[in-house]
Copies of this chain bind each other. A is one copy, B any other.
Amino acid sequence: MGTKERKERQKAEMREAVLSAALRLFSDQGYEYVTMRKIADEIEYSVGTIYLYFKDKDEIFFELHKLGFEEFYKRQIAIQNVKDPLQRLKEHGLAYIQFAIDQPQYYDLMFISRIPAKTIKQKQNWTSGDRTYELLKLNIVQAKEAGYFKGVEVEVAAFSLWSFVHGISSLFVRDRLTTIPMESVKSLIAGSLSFLGRAY
């Protein structure tokens, strides 16, 4: 009598197949090149079928969004073994920017793309993002305990650091640094992180 369970499993598999196809297209060419018909072709189903498993394209968008944040969080956690609080904070920033460089499409989706109006209201969606932000704040608190960030509120420091790395990342991802050769960009980024360190 496990037909119900099997059906649910099949439904999950179908969703998985759609997402995996979307991800494949997405990683290759970026989000705007992912069309419903291309996904349908990829999984060898008709367009209409996708709409039996996903409300609309935005729902697929949001699932990718979630996947991106999971990968992102993993990378940030991996940095937590660095002992020195200051060094850890720097690695944190570096890992942030490196993610944007390695996975520009994901970074775009997560931090730059216009968020569908419907999605905004669901706060729950951002928990994966909040998680990393909490991690950043924790690292700042620990740096404070080690004597840094004297007289700076944690909220202000966190906002500043986020803005900074996001600024660099988004300029890179949206091709505003193309006049600068890639090598120079790397040394500029390194220099900038050092410069920001003076404010700690």
Interface residues of A (CB under 8 A from B): 32, 111-115, 120, 123, 126, 152-153, 155-157, 159-160, 162-168, 170-171, 174-176, 178-179, 188, 191-192, 194-199
Contact = CB atoms under 8 A, between A and B. Distances in A.
B115 A156 contact: no
Q: Copies of this chain, how many? A: 2
A8 B109 CA distance: 45
B111 A176 contact: yes
A15 to B, nearest CB: 27
A175 to B, nearest CB: 6
A155 B190 CA distance: 12
A166 B170 contact: yes
Nearest to A192: B160
Given A126-B179, A160-B196, A196-B160, A112 B191 contact: no
A178 B120 CA distance: 8
A57 to B, nearest CB: 15
